[in-house]
Structure 1
Amino acid sequence: MQFFILSLVFVCTNADDKIFSVISYGAKADGVTDDSEVFLKAWMDACKWNGEATFLIPLGTYMIYGVTFFGPCKGSLIVKIQGVIKASTNPNIFCKGSWISFEHINNLEIEGGGTLDGQGASAWGQPQCATRPYTIGLSSIQNAIVHGIHSINSKMFHFDIYNSNNVTLSHVHIIAPSDSPNTDGIHISLSSNIRVFDSNIGTGDDCISIFAGSQNVNISRVTCGPGHGISIGSLGNKPNEVVKDVHVKNCTLIATQNGMRIKTWASSNVGEATNIYFEDIIMDKVDNPIIIDQYYCPSHTCNIKKSLVQIKDVTFNNIRGTSNSLVAVNFNCSSSLSCQIINLNDIDLINYNTKPTIASCANAIGHATGIELPPSCLKSVLES
């Protein structure tokens, strides 16, 4: 007599989870056909799903001319990018503010290890567009996580975070040539509770730029280079521009134009940058490791006036490494509103040719403790 044992295997799934693959909606994934409409159809169904929806871009190469993914959505959304998404090189298509944009969404996750290729060389230096599109825009987003994404050769900013709250970017890899214009890695404005960590950014402009209306920004374990460093500003273009509560820690800057920078326009409106901390930073052949510039004028055609942006409560702690220039610390503050409460502690910056570095100060009030290399030039409160 033979006995047969029936083995039952139960696979438990959450009935509220569903995958919306762009391939199922007809995406060609040939790197030539515009899949924008297909992506949008898949997104709209995912956005309507009352549960956890995964909007999936599988392995393959996709061409997207441009798309905006609108919310609000019924449930939470995971955007899983596994393949390569390429932007158009046709200036009649890409002359707009964004390439891929997510707007008015709560609870968003973007992951998957895929690559966004902005094909920016087609736009850099070209006069056809008044503005060039950023690669990914996050606008009016509440609660988002972006991790494991590669962005290469954006036409303008790689990531633009605007009017958003509680957004975390980690393990992102951003690459563009050192001479690519305005290709900021991560641009933050009018946003709060933003975190960037464990990421590598090498680009043609600021690795991270923190603009007006930003607060509670935390940046850690970021390697930056090439690029223009980690910058706050420019501020003062419009009245009452404020940046506050920024903490940059455990970062490395390699062969960048600037290190830690705060900048305001040479002729500015009233504004403020306050409660800023830069600490545990390594500089490797950085042109301007520590810089506050209140006479910022890249075009050199500005009507130079006194800046009305108040910079105060700024701490540089444990900043060490090599400077490409002899002036390793440069505080060029406004003659009408001097920089207040500037704290330097354990600054150890040497010239990479082993020459002594110097500090340059104008209208900068504060104090220095610990290692002073270069020697501090800050004025004390009693001297001011």
Structure 2
Amino acid sequence: MLLLCMVMVEGRSSPNGGGLNVLDFGAVGNGQTDDSQVFGKIMAPSKKNFHSGTKEWLTFDSVNGLIVNGNGDIDGYGSSWWGSCDNGNECSGRPTALKFNNCNYLQVSGVSITNAQHNHISLSNCADVTIFNIKITAPDNTPNTDGIDISHSTRVQIQNSDIGTGDDCIAINTGCSYINITGINCGPGHGISIGSLGEDHSEGIVEEVHVVGCTFTGTQNGARIKTWQGGSGYVRKVSFKDITLYDSMNPILIDQYYCDDKECKNQTSAVSISDVSFIGFTGTSATEAAVQLLCSKSVGCDGILLDRINITTSHKQSTEDKVFSECINAHGTSSGSNIPNVPCLLH
């Protein structure tokens, strides 16, 4: 195990602009002490002091049994980077603030991560991960500042945390399975999303994702699955349950036409979506289309379940203001008492 006492490492960088090795600053691996304790503030250097091509600011690679805890703040000083996104290509060069790669039996708790340059936390190729009681914060207009971004990982639990950023509170990408998310307060941000998947004809595979007891406040989306046209693979065995909404746009959204390019061509292949349930949604929607099941015309969505849905408009000005549902090639079951009604799923 590795002991990293990270305290007030503010604005430091190596002489050549590259990374710092924690072993040079007193970190030890003695197999006895706690792995990583974060107190005070760790402040990233400004953009000009980062080595060109740096993909991550703080990285843990191939460390099994790692524990990161404490009440400190990891501050990515993202304001020195965000402005470049207005000018195109520079935006893609921003590093992730805290990256865990190939770390099994990982635990992260107590810490705050703020103002990341890009993603706040990224998990890749990890297994048996528990993240709880953390706080992630960035302004709502910051570009692509995902709270927690997960890819190629399994058996991940994220619990009882506050996440408010300029992008997805939690994003679940390809290669993920058995992801359990409980008690998350999300907002601002783009909700809890599976995807995007299938970009550039790639294969996307996600299964066994379960989101329970989460709250969305003023978010751009609530529970979302997004895939590109032209991809392959599947999303299956997914549930969103006991969700509370406060003035959230697009509370329930399956979007198999996702595209953030200026021009996207219609394509027949798609990542298939099946066995997805939305149960126990209550609260208010900032958009009239509270339920959108926009599935591929050629592949479609199967086994969709909506039950105990009670979503009303947050902008009621008259008795005529009501939420509604939209469907394209979606198949499954919806309770007749759901608000809004979802006629495409009624039998």
TM-score of the aligned structures, taking structure 2 as reference length: 0.91
Partner of 2:70: 112
Going from structure 1 to structure 2, the CA distance change for 1:195 and 1:18 (only over 3 Å counts) comes to closer
Q: Distance in 2 between matches of 1:337 and 1:30?
A: 52
Hey, what's the Cα distance between the residues in 1 that align with 2:212 and 2:225? 16
Map of 2:39 onto structure 1: 82
Matched, 1:53 2:33: yes
Larger RCO (CA under 8 A, 6+ residues apart)? 2
1:39 aligned to which of 8, 22, 27: 22
Q: What is the count of residue pairs matched by the alignment? A: 333
1:1-384 map, 5 Å: 21=5, 29=8, 31-34=10-13, 37=20, 39-42=22-25, 46-47=28-29, 49=30, 51-54=31-34, 78-91=35-48, 93=50, 95-126=53-84, 127-128=89-90, 130-237=92-199, 238-265=201-228, 267-354=229-316, 355-369=321-335, 371-379=337-345
Deviations 1:49-69 (A, max 9, x none): 2x2234xxxxxxxxxxxxxxx
Partners of 1:296 and 1:19 lie apart in 2 by 43
Deviation at 1:19, TM superposition (A): 6.1
Deviation at 1:372, TM superposition (A): 1.0
Distance 2:4 2:168 in 1: 36
One-letter amino acid of the counterpart of residue 233, structure 2: G
CA distance in 1, matches of 2:4, 2:337: 57
- For the residue of structure 1 that corresponds to 2:93, the secondary structure is coil
Q: Deviations over 1:191-238 (max 9, x none)?
A: 000010100000000000000000000001000000000000011125
Task: Give, in angstroms, the shift of residue 22 of structure 1.
Answer: 6.4
Residue pair 1:22, 1:42 contacting (<8 A) in 2 also: no
Residue 351 (structure 1) shift:
0.5
From the two aligned structures, give the one with the greater strand fraction: 1
**Distance in 2 between residues matched to 1:22 and 1:120, nearest whole Å:** 20
1: CA distance between counterparts of 2:310 and 2:4?
A: 53
The Cα offsets for residues 26-74 of structure 1, whole Å up to 9 and x where unpaired, read as: xxx573443764633246x523x2x2234xxxxxxxxxxxxxxxxxxxx
How many angstroms does 1:18 deviate by? 9.5
Report the Cα distance in structure 1 between the residues aligned to 2:9 and 2:299, rounded to whole angstroms.
Answer: 57
State the TM-score, normalizing by the size of structure 1.
Answer: 0.82
- Report SS of the residue matched to 2:42: strand
Q: 1:46 to 1:326 in 2, by over 3 A?
A: same
2: CA distance between counterparts of 1:364 and 1:209? 23
Decide whether the 8 Å contact of 1:235 with 1:268 is kept in 2.
Answer: no
Q: Which one-letter code corresponds to 1:117 in the other structure?
A: D
Cα distance, 1:131 vs structure 2: 2.0
Shift of 1:97: 1.0
Secondary structure of the corresponding residue to residue 322 of structure 2 = coil
Contact preservation (8 Å) 1:264, 1:307: no
Whether the aligned pair in 1 keeps the contact of 2:5 and 2:36 (CA below 8 Å) is no
Matches of 1:278 and 1:261, distance apart in 2: 10
8 Å CA contact 1:125–1:181 kept in 2: the answer is no
SS at match of 1:378: helix
Amino acid at match of 1:239: S
Shift of 1:356: 1.4
Q: CA RMSD in A?
A: 2.0
* CA distance, structure 2, for counterparts of residue 284 and residue 252 of structure 1: 8
Per-residue deviation, 1:140 = 0.3
Unaligned residue ranges in structure 1 (runs of 5+): 1-16, 24-28, 55-77
Q: Is the 8 A contact 2:2 2:66 kept in 1?
A: no
- Unaligned stretches of 5+ residues in structure 2: none
